[in-house]
Amino acid sequence: MSGTLDLPTRKHEAWRYSAVDKLRAGDLGKWRQIDVASGDNARELLLISDENAGETEVVQLRVNIAEDARFELFGVIASGEFSRVEVEVTMGRGAHFEMGGITVGGRNTVREFMTRVTHAEPEATSNQTVRSVHWGGGTGNFLGAIDVARHAQKTDAAQDFKGLLLEKGASVNAVPQLEIFADDVKCAHGATVGQLDETARFYMAARGVSPDLARRLLVQAFIGDALVGLDDEEAHEKLLGTALDKLDKHL
């Protein structure tokens, strides 16, 4: 039987806005397992850029975070006709998951994060911040699911997605999903889409800032939110620089 038969379609909720026509059988099923032991701290940096991406790029991670452990994931998707990062996280008691993601792109590219965070035990916390900046016919997506098990009381989970459209024709999509079976929890999600703040641009122009520099500074502040939790200065500059370089190159 051909592996092509197993490829998803847009009828699958997790692939609703994806460029499924770009997928090949060999792109899927390459899950990488990450296990964070009890009490440990771990961090993963993902960078999909012109230097390391093909036409289609799919990264799949399965993460188990044990009791009182912490895992951080920060990533930038800035290349590929279709690029997707899938993350499945299972949380132990008192564990924490921190994620910051950025997608940027134009033309007819599709770049997206898909996450499923399972709070399997009590007192775990998770925070996901995703920023998307697109122009031309570019599309940025965030499909984020949070599952809270029946006995996972004292869960505290949050998602925050914001999209910035720099030109007509671009689009961003957010699909938050919450499935909560416990009753003593805090779960929140927010999603907004907009354009550059014209008041801020006017204010900067009045003080002699060129339109190009004003735009770059505003975009930098916008996407910088996704990296607030990253305390490694070198890694922070590399991820932010890659996103801004893509913006500079194509606008």
pLDDT for res 230: 97
Say what the pTM is: 0.93
By the 10 Å C-beta count (0-12 exposed, 13-18 middle, 19+ buried), 154 is classed as middle
pLDDT at position 5 is 47
Residue 3 has what pLDDT?
41
Q: Give the integer Cα–Cα distance in Å for 106 and 90.
A: 34
Q: Give the gyration radius of the chain's Cα atoms.
A: 18
| Amino acid in position 223 | I
User: What's the CA gap between 20 and 199, in Å, rounded?
Assistant: 39
> Looking at residue 238, what is its pLDDT?
96
C-alpha to C-alpha distance for 241 and 250, rounded to whole angstroms: 14
Distance CA 118, CA 92 (A): 9
Sequence-distant (6+) residues with CB within 8 A of 74 are 43, 44, 45, 46, 99, 100, 101, 226, 227, 229, 230, 235, 239
Residue carrying structure tokens 């910035």:
164
Q: What is the pLDDT at residue 157? A: 98
The HSE-up count of residue 91 (CA atoms within 13 Å, CB side) is 33
Q: Is 107 left (phi over 0), alpha (psi -120 to 50) or beta?
A: left
Q: Read off the amino acid at residue 41.
A: N
Residue 143 has a pLDDT of 96
| The pLDDT of residue 110 | 97
Confidence (pLDDT) at 251: 66
| Spans in the chain with pLDDT lower than 50 | 1-5
